[in-house]
Amino acid sequence: MKTTKLLRRRRDRCGALALLAALTLIPGTAMSQLRPLVPLMLDNLGDVNRIGEAVALDDLEQVAISVQALKQRAVGMRQLDLATLDLDPEQDALWDGFLQAQEAAADVVLAAAEKKDGRAVMAATRRLVGNACLGCHASFRDPGNMLRPSVLFMTSLLSAWRDMNRGLSMKDFNLIDLRARDVSALTEVIAGDEILENAFRLGGSKQRRIFRGFLRRVSENAALISQAADAEDLPAVLDASNAMWTDGCISCHEKFRR
């Protein structure tokens, strides 16, 4: 993970600064508390998006970087033990087949990028997504559950969370403040009756009350993060973001994630 690497490099440079050592723990721990495939999948999605952006900007070098990441991730995913992912180990060959498709399709994208042919890059990327990503999702994920609205909201929260950690590692207080405000705004949207009912399928008023309680812990800590960032108070940012993660994100997941 890029953030972790960056932090590690910083820590080497800064010696045994306890604060930075603590910082390196946040993104790693955070990621390990998601279901194991999820961080890999969000990175997959990020790489596919970056390829699209890079073609638009005519940056074929970035295409090559992202597509190589997609290929390496597929190679790594073939080593995973399906049983530990709650998937059927009997379907190992099918699993590997989709990952081989991802690798082969990545080579085609790469060849197109080397020829600096943006159109061919896009066509090959669409095939990669169709054959490998969506193919595997259709087999291993409930197709009806593909990109549920609830997951989209959560992906936005996660992306804000990652940026805040990036901000912490670079002492970019503006970025921290900006993304903490995004988190507040997002929790407000999520807490509305309509989203709770339609996206999160929470019918009962008791369930909603508990759910909103966790959202409040997230937004209260987001406000503290904002304040601390304004004051450029790094330890206070760190405290509030730890509290946000444990009392808000993780506590709610323990109770509500199926």
**Token output for 19:** 């604060």
Contact region with ligand HEC (CB under 6 A), list: 17-25, 107-115, 167-175, 250-258: 250-258
- Binding to ligand HEC in span 199-238, by CB under 6 A: 200, 211, 214-215, 218
Longest pairwise C-alpha distance within the chain: 59
Q: Is 184 in the site for ligand HEC (CB under 6 A)?
A: no
The binder of ligand HEC chosen from 137, 181, 242, 246 (CB under 6 A): 137
Please give the structure tokens belonging to residue 103: 């690798």
> Which residue among 7, 154, 168, 176 contacts ligand HEC (CB under 6 A)?
154
Q: Give the whole-angstrom CA distance, residue 126 versus residue 135.
A: 12
Report the 10 Å Cβ neighbour count for 2: 10
- How many residues bind ligand HEC, per CB under 6 A? 41
Position among 20, 27, 67, 98 found at the interface with ligand HEC (CB under 6 A): 98
Cβ–Cβ < 8 Å for 231, 170? no
Rounded to whole angstroms, the Cα distance separating 67 from 218 reads 35
Q: Check if the beta carbon of residue 35 is closer than 8 Å to that of residue 25.
A: no
Shortest distance, CB of residue 204 to ligand HEC, whole angstroms? 15
Q: Which of 4, 76, 93 is nearest to 37 (CA)?
A: 76
Contact with ligand HEC (CB under 6 A) among 6, 151, 234, 243:
151
d(CA 219, CA 44): 29
Q: CB 99 → ligand HEC: shortest distance, Å?
A: 5
DSSP H helices, 33-172, are 37-56, 60-77, 92-114, 118-128, 135-140, 149-170
Cβ 18 to ligand HEC, closest distance in Å? 25
Rule CB under 6 A: choose which of 10, 11, 126, 141 binds ligand HEC: 141
Binding footprint of ligand HEC on the chain (CB under 6 A): 34-35, 37-38, 41, 44-45, 48, 70, 95, 98-99, 102, 129, 132-133, 136-137, 140-141, 148, 150-151, 154-155, 157-158, 161, 183, 200, 211, 214-215, 218, 244, 248-249, 252-253, 256-257
